[in-house]
Copies of this chain bind each other. A is one copy, B any other.
Amino acid sequence: MTVTLADVAARAQVSPATVSRVLNGNYPVAASTRERVLRAVDELDYVLNGPASALAAATSDLVGILVNDIADPFFGIMASAIQAEIGGPGGRAGGERLAVVCNTGGSPERELTYLTLLQRQRAAAVVLTGGAVEDAPHAAAVAAKLRKLADAGTRVVLCGRPPAPDTEAVALTFDNRGGARALTDHLIGLGHRRLGYIAGPEERTTTRHRLEGHRAALAAAGIEEDPRWTVHGRYDRRSGHEATLELLRRDPSLTAIVAANDSVALGACAALRESGLRIPEDVSVAGFDDLPFSIDAVPSLTTVRLPLAEAGARAGRIAMGREEPPPGGIAAVRGELMVRGSSGVPRE
């Protein structure tokens, strides 16, 4: 029924071993023989059996990319960059690898299951993107999994994620703390003293780091933070909308709102506008990430640009062994403050 290596070998009048060697190209085969084999492959329309070769060679050409939310451009951009370097079809890399992205939906269990699935497939490499969940047992489970993957020869790279201790995983970490600090510093510099903060989900590292940076800026300026000024939500627009209304209810005198990311900031803008407040005359708004749509917002969004594509590309290259990992296996990727129209001098 299906064409096998043996069929090709028969047609080309060589042994299966030779066909295999032609296809893998890592063993000398005479040019004439090679050509004969390739012709047979073509004529029979032969397609290598992936599982069989993975089994025999004890390695596969699968590379996994884990993302929290595939519908979010934040992850889409990174995934795209990673994949381009992994070299799926058409990539810069030579061999054809199946770069696959797995959507964890932010759930720790799914993350673990995907990791197991990739381990099961004997993946060549795995790149984990996005913040981790701050749950000790889960973190330990993930670390154990990563260790096992590394043992099995799978290269592990973390992109935009804190390092995993006791692991061989290379980590490219975003400097969320520093970016948030710079952002709030900017707002304080404009004269703001009462700043609302819409944070992400409580248990995520990204959430915590950004919040810490924000608070560090407040502390440095001698501003005592009012607990009512912080609201937690999800990393989406809707959440920003709701949280803003809540903040406004709690303290109508806020002059600035700092959001966990750009989507949240956009939701905040909508809520402010609906409440009859002008941006930035009445309230300044700031986001984080600098996704493509942020510059198109009206007014355009003040935010922190994260080099998502660059970091992803680098992670991809490291995963493929085409770039040296950073010393110590850890590198911090810095963000850049982008001051735009949504932030201004506070009223009064």
Contact = CB atoms under 8 A, between A and B. Distances in A.
Contacts of A103: 79-80, 83, 88, 99, 101
A113 to B, nearest CB: 3
Chain A interface size, as a band, is 35 or more
Interface in A247-285: 263, 266-267, 269-270, 273
A25 interface: no
- Residue of A64, A76, A77, A152 most packed against chain B (CB within 10 A): A76
Interface in A93-137: 96, 98-105, 107, 109-110, 112-114, 116-122
A262 B128 CA distance: 30
Contacts of A112: 89
A176 B10 CA distance: 50
A47 B121 CA distance: 10
Contacts of A100: 64, 98, 100-102
A226 interface: no
Interface stretch (A12-20, A48-56, A210-218): A48-56
B89 A114 contact: yes
B90 A80 contact: no
Contacts of A297: 296, 298
Contacts of A70: 70, 76, 79-80, 83, 101
A237 interface: yes
A77 B236 CA distance: 14
Contacts of A203: none
Contacts of A71: 73, 76-77, 79-80
Contacts of A73: 71-73, 76
Given A89-B110, A90-B105, A293-B293, 11 more contacts: A47-B116, A50-B121, A51-B51, A52-B55, A80-B103, A88-B102, A88-B117, A89-B112, A90-B110, A101-B101, A267-B296
Interface of A: 2, 45, 47-52, 54-55, 60, 62, 64, 69-73, 76-77, 79-80, 83-84, 88-90, 96, 98-105, 107, 109-110, 112-114, 116-122, 148, 152, 237, 263, 266-267, 269-270, 273, 292-293, 296-298
